[in-house]
């Protein structure tokens, strides 16, 4: 049984007349609109207004039924269950909130027609190359929204790692040519929902609204325009979601619908971040509870996902964004901290409406079974099916880091990477894993490899030729560096994204010779991959590493690509007799990067600390 908590004081504020009086009689209804023709005919509206539960609710529109009106502890809320039949036509109708001796409140609700388009809801596949952008730090395309009056954080200081810098959606739109030239097919933006927090709001992971783009990035319409422009280019958009928590200034936190809207504790209790307790057969209930129900941080209240009203509120907002903007995929933040039963139901709800839509979870864990535990298919005796199609492949990240920085040994160096890939049998579909070298929470890859340019290129070659869906972090193509101490050091501005910048790294002229070499290296491989079915959907065959050298092949009926990773500090002479299983029928090769031809593949030299990519002929 939960104890009475100090957080109960937050809940009690709605009983104080001075607070309630600040809330309009009808403050909002969410979602503010919906669509006809959805597979799920049910819709639950959350209604917020000063003592709105004192009023009766009616509506009259052909094909729409008001099934039930739910009252909760807080009289400022109602939850309306609607059913929308398949025959309902688009249109607008009034929802009436009536009370004796009071003026009737009226809300115009719109049911829209669904847009039909082949370029929407496509899903993200292993044919794609994802580019992760932190919008505040990429490019400022609209100075007018840098500071928004009335918001809790109005700071703007590019010299501070903690304050906002002014990057926005218009800045991303302005640089789509650059991204497409690089070979990017898909954008993943760190969360862009409004974060009206008093400080450190730039990263986006403490949203205060579920249906509104942060005004410092732009508008809902501009976000939709960005997605449309991507689709016009044959590109895609991934939206970053946070199920586990919201910001402390979220409108439902400032006026809690009920005590169990969030997880309550006698005093502030942080999660342990120990994912092991979720699958440990010997774990204590107390440890599990603290892991799942503990707060991620002081300003990030942990929502109670066992609450059905919470579930509907979150799931419907996600469906709304897919339909409104035409999204192609979701990245699910802090996946391990969510309620497994709810997330499985969530996956079914999303897939029901959008069968091609894809989503992958952030599973920042150590250990192959730890990671596989969260994926779909009950492949390692989980006892439940999460429905989670894919995860961020941290195990492959640890593997490539060890391959490039470690000393070759039985379990070390490239052997760790080999063993990680060899363990793909634990997944239902390992080709959906999202592979990466760094992200907004990790040290920059170029710094991880000690700013060794050969190691850098070797890692890029692996990323764009291994199985799975490659994900790249903004600025890695121009050798941005930094360690996460603090995190802001890996979230620096992309030079040239702000008017007045002395350097413009978006242009070849603004980059150094080595930065151009890095950019062109990524561009060459990414665009080659874009046109190579062998690297996209082909099979993989890897060979046991020997003498610090790891060799694998990607192949299909049209092409065979051979990848040779030499992790040694010296050049090696590679004898190809070990690889005849995949070399049959081939006698020559072309180096994908340099274009040089190998007139024989029986025996050839591989430079130190390099990964060579060959197309066999």
Please list the active-site residues: 333, 362
Reduced to 3 states, what is the DSSP secondary structure of residue 145?
helix
Q: Cα–Cα distance between 138 and 145 in angstroms, integer?
A: 15
Q: Cα–Cα distance between 233 and 70 in angstroms, integer?
A: 45
Tokens of 398: 């640890």
Please give the span between the terminal C-alpha atoms of the chain, in angstroms, as a whole number. 69
* CB-CB contact of 34 with 111 (8 Å): yes
The angle that helices 308-325 and 340-353 make with each other, rounded to 10 degrees, is: 30
Place of tokens 């992200």: 439
Q: Cα–Cα distance between 519 and 279 in angstroms, integer?
A: 42
How far lies 505's CA from each of 11, 170, 247, 508, in Å? 50, 18, 34, 7
Q: Cα–Cα distance between 122 and 433 in angstroms, integer?
A: 17
Cα 102–chain centre separation: 47
Phi, psi of 119 (to 5 degrees): -95, 5
Q: Which residues contact 526 (CB under 8 A, 6 or more apart)?
A: 129, 182, 183, 184, 464
Other Cβ atoms within 10 Å of 579 Cβ, number:
19
Place of tokens 């009536």: 98
Q: Cα–Cα distance between 558 and 571 in angstroms, integer?
A: 31
Burial class (CB in 10 A: 0-12, 13-18, 19+), 154: middle
* CB-CB contact of 551 with 562 (8 Å): yes
Reduced to 3 states, what is the DSSP secondary structure of residue 439?
coil
Q: If you ran DSSP here, which 8-state letter would residue 203 be given?
A: T
Reduced to 3 states, what is the DSSP secondary structure of residue 77?
strand
């Amino acid at each position: 049984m939960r104890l009475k908590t100090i957080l109960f004081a937050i809940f009690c504020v709605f009983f104080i007349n001075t607070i309630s009086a600040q809330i309009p009689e009808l403050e909002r209804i969410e979602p503010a609109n919906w669509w006809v023709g959805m597979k799920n005919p049910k819709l639950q509206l959350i209604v917020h207004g000063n003592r709105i539960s004192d009023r009766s609710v009616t509506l009259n529109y052909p094909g729409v039924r008001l099934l039930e009106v739910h009252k909760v502890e807080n009289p400022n809320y109602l939850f309306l269950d609607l059913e929308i039949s398949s025959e309902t036509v688009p249109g607008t109708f009034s929802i009436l909130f009536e009370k004796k001796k009071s003026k009737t409140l009226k809300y115009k609700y719109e049911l829209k027609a669904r847009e039909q388009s082949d370029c929407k809801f496509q899903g993200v596949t292993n044919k794609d190359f994802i580019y992760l952008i932190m919008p505040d730090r990429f490019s400022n395309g609209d100075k007018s929204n840098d500071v928004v009056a009335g918001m809790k954080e109005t700071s703007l200081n590019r010299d501070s790692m903690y304050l906002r810098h002014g990057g926005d959606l218009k800045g991303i739109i302005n640089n789509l040519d650059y991204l497409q030239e690089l070979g990017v097919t898909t954008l993943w933006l760190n969360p862009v929902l409004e974060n009206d927090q008093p400080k450190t709001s730039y990263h986006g992971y403490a949203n205060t609204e579920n249906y509104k783009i942060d005004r410092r990035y732009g508008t809902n319409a501009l976000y939709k325009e960005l997605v449309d422009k991507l689709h016009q280019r044959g590109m895609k958009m991934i939206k970053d979601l946070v199920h586990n928590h919201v910001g402390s200034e979220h409108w439902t936190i400032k006026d809690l619908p009920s005590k169990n809207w969030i997880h309550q504790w006698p005093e502030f209790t942080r999660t342990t971040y120990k994912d092991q307790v979720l699958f440990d057969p010997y774990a204590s209930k107390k440890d599990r509870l603290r892991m799942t129900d503990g707060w991620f941080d002081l300003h990030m209240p942990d929502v109670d996902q066992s609450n059905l009203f919470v579930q509907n509120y979150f799931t419907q907002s996600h469906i709304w964004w897919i339909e409104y903007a035409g999204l192609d995929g979701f990245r699910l933040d802090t996946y391990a901290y969510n309620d497994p039963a709810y997330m499985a139901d969530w996956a079914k709800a999303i897939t029901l409406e959008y069968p091609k839509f894809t989503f992958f979870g952030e599973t920042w864990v150590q250990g192959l079974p730890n990671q596989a535990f969260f994926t779909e298919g009950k492949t390692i005796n989980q006892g439940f099916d999460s429905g989670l199609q894919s995860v961020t492949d941290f195990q492959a990240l640890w593997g490539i880091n060890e391959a490039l920085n470690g000393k070759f040994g039985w379990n070390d160096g490239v052997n760790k990477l080999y063993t990680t890939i060899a363990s793909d049998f634990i997944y239902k579909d390992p080709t959906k894993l999202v592979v990466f070298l760094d992200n907004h929470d990790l040290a920059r890859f170029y710094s991880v490899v000690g700013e060794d340019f050969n190691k850098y290129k070797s890692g890029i070659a692996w990323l764009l030729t291994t199985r799975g869906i490659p994900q790249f972090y903004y600025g890695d193509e121009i050798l941005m560096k930094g360690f996460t101490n603090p995190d802001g050091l890996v979230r620096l501005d992309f030079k040239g994204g702000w008017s007045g910048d002395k350097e413009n790294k978006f242009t070849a002229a603004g980059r150094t010779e080595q930065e151009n070499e890095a950019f062109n290296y990524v561009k060459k491989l990414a665009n080659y991959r874009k046109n190579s079915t062998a690297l996209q959907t082909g099979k993989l065959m890897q060979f046991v590493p020997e003498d610090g050298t790891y060799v694998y092949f990607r192949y299909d009926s049209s092409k065979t690509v051979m990848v040779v990773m030499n992790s040694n500090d010296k050049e090696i002479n590679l004898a190809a007799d070990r690889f005849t299983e995949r070399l049959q029928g081939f006698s020559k090769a072309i180096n994908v990067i340099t274009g040089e031809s190998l007139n024989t593949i029986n025996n050839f030299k591989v430079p130190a600390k390099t990964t060579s990519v060959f197309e066999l002929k």
